[in-house]
Amino acid sequence: MRLLVTGGTGQVGEALMRLAPKLGVTVIAPGRADLDLANPGAIKLPDGIDGVINAGAYTAVDKAESEPALAETINGIAPGVLATQAAKRDLPIVQISTDYVFDGTKTEPYLETDPVNPMSVYGRTKETGERAVREANPRHAIMRTSWVYAVHGNNFVKTMLRLGKERDQLKVVADQTGAPTLADDIAAAAVLMAKALTASNAGTYHYTAEGAVTWHGFAQAIWAKAGLRLGRQPKIDPIPTSGYPTPARRPKNSRLDCSKTVAAFGVVRRPWERALDETLAILLEEKP
Q: Exactly one of 110, 122, 149, 207 is catalytic; which is it?
A: 122
Give catalytic status of residue 122 as yes or no.
yes
Site for ligand NAP in 159-198 (CB under 6 A): 183
Q: Which is nearer to ligand NAP, 11 or 204 (CB)?
A: 11
Rounded-to-integer distance, Cα 178 and Cα 166, Å: 26
Q: Which is nearer to ligand NAP, 77 or 202 (CB)?
A: 77
CB-CB contact of 230 with 165 (8 Å): yes
Residue selected from 19, 20, 36, 251 as contacting ligand NAP according to rule CB under 6 A: 36
Site for ligand NAP in 127-156 (CB under 6 A): 145-148, 153
CB-CB contact of 216 with 45 (8 Å): no
Query: Residue 90 region, left (φ>0) first, then alpha (ψ -120 to 50), else beta?
Result: left
In the chain, alpha helices (H): 11-23, 68-71, 78-88, 121-136, 156-166, 183-196, 215-230, 259-265, 272-283
Q: Work out the angle between the directed axes of helices 11-23 and 183-196 (0-180°, nearest 10).
A: 60
H/E element, 93: strand 93-98
Q: Check binding of 220 to ligand NAP (CB under 6 A).
A: no
Rounded-to-integer distance, Cα 109 and Cα 129, Å: 22
Minimal distance, residue 231 CB to ligand NAP, in Å: 30
Q: Check binding of 37 to ligand NAP (CB under 6 A).
A: yes
Question: Residue number with the shortest CB distance to ligand NAP?
Answer: 10
Minimal distance, residue 188 CB to ligand NAP, in Å: 14
Q: Which is nearer to ligand NAP, 67 or 227 (CB)?
A: 67
Q: Check binding of 53 to ligand NAP (CB under 6 A).
A: no
CB-CB contact of 76 with 125 (8 Å): yes
Q: Check binding of 74 to ligand NAP (CB under 6 A).
A: yes
Residue selected from 3, 4, 5, 10 as contacting ligand NAP according to rule CB under 6 A: 10
Q: Exposed, middle or buried: residue 98 (CB in 10 Å: 0-12, 13-18, 19+)?
A: buried
**Active-site annotation, residues:** 122
Residues at the site binding ligand NAP, with contacts judged by CB under 6 A:
6-13, 32, 35-38, 55-59, 74, 96, 98, 126, 145-148, 153, 183
